[in-house]
Structure 1
Amino acid sequence: MGAMSERLSMRKVREILRLKFECKRSRAEIAAAACVGESTVSGYLARAEKAGLTWEVAREMTEAEIESRLFRDVGRNEPPARVPIDFSWVHRELSKPCVTLQTLWLEYREASAAQAPLRPYEYSRFCDLYAGWKKKLGVVLRQVHRAGEKVFIDYSGRKPHIVDRTTGEVTEVELFVAVLGASNYTYAEATRSQKLADFVGSTVRMLEYFGGVPEVIVPDQLRSAVSGPDRYEPDINPTYLEMARHYGVTVIPARPRKPRDKAKVEGGVLIAQRWILASLRHRTFFSLAELNEAIASLLERLNARPFQRLDGCRRTAFETIDKPVMRPLPARRYELADWKHAKVNIDYCVCYDDRLYSVPYTLVGARVEIRATASVVELFHDSVRVASHARSYGRKGSAVIVDEHRPRAHRDYGKWPPERVVAWAETIGPNVGELARAVMRHRTHPETGYRTCLGVIRLADKYGRDRVDAACARALRIGSPTAKSVTATLRNGLDRVPLVEPPPRGALAHENIRGAEYFDKEERSDLGRDDSEAGRDEAERDGGDAEREGGCAVSGAALH
């Protein structure tokens, strides 16, 4: 077994085993799909064979268990990994004046310092590798496509558009195009964007249009298909990879800036632009559904259009070449899933879409993966599903909690009715029970007051029942039935201090403060004033008001 340059993630090892034993792919195809070397594929398959690990067994194992089976002596006799060379960059820079291979090698070494512990190549090896790469420039591979093997997918650079019927705003949309390698059978549709949901939906509808599943899907390295675009090791988006597993298909992305890797769909996009978009250029569409209805009609004409140099058309070629060997669609359609990472909070819940979902309380603080579809939310820890909930569409902040996920103390706590909490409070003292009733009475949901009541009850362990009851009486008397108020009273010893009764209403608090009798006397003296004086005062007030309003002053006496 050849030594492998580096340890792969167990998820990629699982994918290698699936492609070998379930999809029956060759080692070269597996290497292309998993973005590793053929020797690495051979090495892992040899390890699996030596360990007696078959796909039937590995399918049910966790990734930690697979690792323990394959790597009993990890790290021995493995050569150090090297920093990869960007040969395109080397070739491009060499075309500039005064740039030599030695200059580029020095720059490569300096850049390699940031990728420790990987080591850079030495100068001689650097030159040899570049020379070998350069020899392959200009070589064109003529691809031979087997029946039902590959479907190539891409988006058109030229975009159709729809118009808002109300505002007249024009919105560009995307044109998704897929072409089968052997028959050139074409599928096309318009979508809002190239985002993950639209891309997965288009791929699913493409397979349903074909009525079968090819062996390999070859997408471009757009973000919806490849979560980490890379020339050497592109990582398939987890959601797109899950869709591929559902249909049992292999995803091999085309290399970036290598249109020859997907020449079929490049030609298919050009044909779709000429035979579909050009035919629709004089028509106006007010919805995506209306546009796709027109595209579907033109698509049928395109697939029925006779070949220029061959007998038949795309449809007849598909019926005789691709369709007979394509695998049937699964019984259940793939449901789009969204994957997220989250940390379990102290309340043994994680948040997704502003709603809370529970996991077993033993996972508090652990990192979990969330898989959410339109109907279900699943939670995984170390690739093992630990919880599954029906997706909630209730108000934001609402929680979906399974009783078995709670610790036993919390399960009992959640089952208590308010009456039980009040009865327990009354065992401490009548005023404690009354405070508990007041807490429940002022809450929209009585359960939200349990923590306050239990906090007051626990104070009896520290201060004694009598003091807590007295403190509760004081809190009720001052209109502050809260745990903080009771705790402050006990901490400051105010429960032992008699509560001062407020003075009766109307009583003088101080001899220098004038009471109600003083103001009654003043009122009587005002009533005894001369009527003419009162009338004069009233007239002056009315006149002043009228003068301010710009009118004529009329005395109050004249009105009488």
Structure 2
Amino acid sequence: MSNVLDETKQQQVIALGRLGWSLRRIEAATGVRRETISGYLKATGVAVRRRGGRPTQWPPPNPATTGEVSTDPVSIGTVVATVARPGRAPTASACEPYREQIVEAVRRGRNAMAIWQDLVDQHGFDGRYASVRRFVGRRRVTSPEPAGIIETAPGEEAQVDYGEGPMVRDPVSGKYKRTRLFVLTLGYSRKSVRLLTWRSSSQRWAALHEEAFRRLGGTPRVIVLDNLREGVLTPDVYDAQLNPLYRDVLAHYGVVALPGRVRDPDRKGKVESGIGHTQRTPLKGLRFETLDAAQAYLDQWELRWADTRIHGTTKRQVSVMFSEERPQLQSLPLELFRYYRHGTRVVHLDGCVEVEAAYYSVPPGWIGQQVVVQWDDLHVRVLDPKTSGLLREHLRTRRGHHRVADADRPTRTPAKTLALLDVARKAGPSISAVCEHIHRTEGVLAPRRILGVLALARKHGPALTEDAAHFALEAGAPSYRFLRRYLERVKLPATALKQIDPLIRHLTDYRALIEQRAAAS
């Protein structure tokens, strides 16, 4: 004990404790701290009265009929000898053999439910959850804000969202890295699909939906999502602009996206609750060496615990409700979605757009305007940015090559091409002749080649480019590529500095001028 009282004070404290007084009342009467009073009462086996309640022994024994109450001074050792110390409970906690494992799990921040599940799976624990909860002693009293419960028909709706996943060792850097947790929850049965990924993108976000649909064996009719960039480009509760790839994937599976209001998570509270439950229970305080190991652990937990639990709202087992909802899901298409990349391009003067260093034609009338381009390993599609209508579809070609549809070849020379030829005529006769030849022979690709010839004239100078064009005409190779290679290899002649020239005055003239100015000053 931290303080040692004299025998009189000890007897006074013990006698008041046997009368059923609380620790605060004894402290007020004797001036002894409650911690010291509690120590003496426990040493003598006197029931300690808890704050605001009764002592563990109620009603307290009548002091007039007990021989231990006496005004004669007696030592504390005599009291301890005459009063039997209460023994241990007849049955110890079933969690006692697993104390070390529980303490370590508590230190990592895992809650009682997760600890109980780990004991059952890893150590064959046959006790009940209530025993683990009492042993852990972590009771949190929360008063959540009231929110309405959204009831949906089977197969009608699902909610999706991202959350923080567990720490997994990165195979590239060798360090632990935070993963992302994707959760899709059905609105009727609360059946969830939980998937882990390293990073997110438009294609990865859509692929996670596709994998979740495959795991469920069908698709809901509506997907409720947040306004994250992978799914929604422009948030608007009335007419949101979806990511094109995400929109096409959902259309392939017959699903309609329904983005919620900005900063309104209550509309998708089912998936929010599912993410929080996953973070607090199976993943709290755990680290994994590989992403596959983390996903396997999460799948096993989903099958063993999440699907067999009794949901707090529906008061029914999740797997039973999912068996009712599964027949109401839409059937899956026979083929997987063919993913593509997309972007915006400006149509060049030659009527083509550039995709990965290759060039593809666009119908006439789009020069200088922006179009939407989608491409994969086989095709390139050019779309109208306003209506998303297909303007032109091409097979992929190699880098540096062109794909020009016959319908896109102009029937007359565009005004901008004529302007380029006029600039070439002003640059020099040989340059003009080369550009005219390019225009006659290369058709729709001519404007790009003529622009290259004019760029060489600006870089190397009109005179040197004119000489190169004259040599190209004599050699029978009037092309942009010949001019570029010729100018890269030709060496400019060294210019000798002249010592005597009519424009250069003699040094005596400068000396006389300086002396004249000095005399005048």
TM-score normalised to structure 2 length: 0.49
TM-score normalised to structure 1 length: 0.45
